[in-house]
Amino acid sequence: MTTHSQPTTMHESLLDVRGRKIFVAETGDGPPVLLLHGGGPGASGVSNYSRNIAELAKEYRVIVPDLPGYGRSSKGVDGRDPFGYLAGHIRGLLDRLGLEKAHLVGNSYGGACALRLALDTPDRVGRMVLMGPGGIGTTRALPTPGLTSLLDYYTGDGPSRPKLEKFIRTHLVFNAAEVPDSVIDSRYRDSIDPEVVAAPPLTRPKSLRTVWKTDFTRDRRLERLPVPTLVLWGAADRVNRPSGGRMLAERMPDCDLYMVANTGHWVQWERAELFNRLCGDFLAGRR
């Protein structure tokens, strides 16, 4: 398995944003790019983008927050409008950092956060890269087995390492053998933080209104969104259906779609070299 170097120095801070604490790691110089991580148990910003930060930091100011509910950020997410809640706090983070505009890169839950932020305030987003984003066609089909596994993690008999390992090796990636035990161990430790167990950040919608609100294909603003967008989707994604990529490409006026063969839900990790090249070029306008 290919190894990927980490930045030698990252500036870390815990910032007050809308009355909550948001952990942020930064490195590099250049146009600002926020990397927004997925919503699986034990996820965090730097761990989810461990194979991308150093490469992107050669050209960009890379800003990697832990989303609300995850990592070292304050726990709890408003389940009535989770994507709006996340987007509001990331927009607040832009304000806190003094950034009028930034590029957004989002995987899964982070992709849903990025897309909602762009829909609500397109003037705050330069370009956007989405990898298997959540909230695409979710009212048009039953949840995938992978998404069901994710949503069931804190229910039933509660979180456990076997449940997490099954989710990661069976549903998250295409090649289970590439995931080292250390990744599962680390994510399991973070997933059983008592504050997270008490208030899981990703749960099933509790009302029809929330269900409707969390499907972006029902949002007519999508057809007018001016933000140039690159969608990367693993052709073997078992969490969010790859057909979501076509839904976005058909509805968004400025959207490139790249389907990645032999890849699951974690494009930026499973196909890091390809992702780093495509992402860096697209954000720079070299597409």
Locate 209 and state its tokens: 């209104």
Reported as type and span, the H/E element at residue 103 is strand 102-107
65 strand-pairing partners: 24
Residues 136, 247: contact at Cβ < 8 Å? Answer: yes
Catalytically active residues are 265
Chain centre to alpha carbon of residue 31: 20
Residue reference for tokens 């926020």: 34
Residue reference for tokens 């948001």: 22
The sheet that has 11-17: what strands, in order across it?
11-17, 20-27, 61-65, 32-36, 102-107, 125-131, 229-234, 255-260
Residue reference for tokens 């390492």: 161
Which has the closest alpha carbon to 129: 224, 49, 204, 10?
49
Locate 229 and state its tokens: 């967008």
